[in-house]
Chains A and B, each alone.
Chain A
């Protein structure tokens, strides 16, 4: 069974640029959630996708957007990057969008905005 994978591992961008981060969910999981983790903080929920539809969104501006594909992999897109967007971006997959389904996290993508 393959775990959650994310790419790239690290990324450096400049302010105003756009970035796309990718996530492959664990085998058999149809739900992907994205989190932002600033240095020294706990992860913060960005949004969740269930069967290719957005299924909940945290307190993040519209320049944070996402997609989920038929194979349940997912992308996180961030437009007009700001310095404060520098963080570890985590995706987590779960079996279904059920409250007690365990969310399994990938290793994250470290984004640095200069």
Chain B
């Protein structure tokens, strides 16, 4: 089946730096992508999403970029703060599945030091 993966399992940054978390997906037919943040002991928290007809979408301190040519997704976090420390997952909608199942990658652990 199709899967969504992340390039790096861990990323360490200094407070105030910009962070970039990458994700590669394999299903070229995927039309919807989401980034979630999961803190220890909690469920995934929605950050931002993007549809396949867009290349870029911005939120508060976050930007998602989608490159369909190379099937790559990235999450940029501006002015990273200690509270941003968490595991970040990208997910894609499984268009081969009835309903609206999401396929998640393994996640990138972001550590922010002050």
Q: Report yes or no: A45 in contact with B97, Cβ–Cβ below 8 A.
A: yes
Chain A residues within 8 Å of chain B by Cβ, number: 33
Q: Report yes or no: A48 in contact with B101, Cβ–Cβ below 8 A.
A: yes
Q: Report yes or no: B106 in contact with A41, Cβ–Cβ below 8 A.
A: yes
Chain B residues within 8 Å of chain A by Cβ, number: 30
Residues of B within 8 A of A57 (CB): 98
Q: Report yes or no: B98 in contact with A40, Cβ–Cβ below 8 A.
A: no
Q: A41-B106, A42-B106, A100-B51 are in contact. Are A48 and B46 (CB under 8 A)?
A: no
Interface residue? A97 (CB, 8 A): yes
Residues of A within 8 A of B93 (CB): 99-100
Task: Give min CB distance, A104 to chain B, whole Å.
Answer: 6
Cβ contact of A55, chosen from B4, B36, B98, B106, cutoff 8 A: B98
Interface residue? B43 (CB, 8 A): yes
Q: Report yes or no: A4 in contact with B43, Cβ–Cβ below 8 A.
A: yes
Binding site for B on A (CB under 8 A): 4, 31, 33, 35, 40-45, 47-48, 50, 55-59, 90, 92, 94, 97-108
Q: Which 3 residue pairs of A and B lie closest in terms of their CB atoms, listed nearest first?
A: A56-B99, A42-B104, A105-B43
Binding site for A on B (CB under 8 A): 1, 4, 31-32, 34, 36, 41-46, 49, 51, 89, 91, 93-95, 97-107
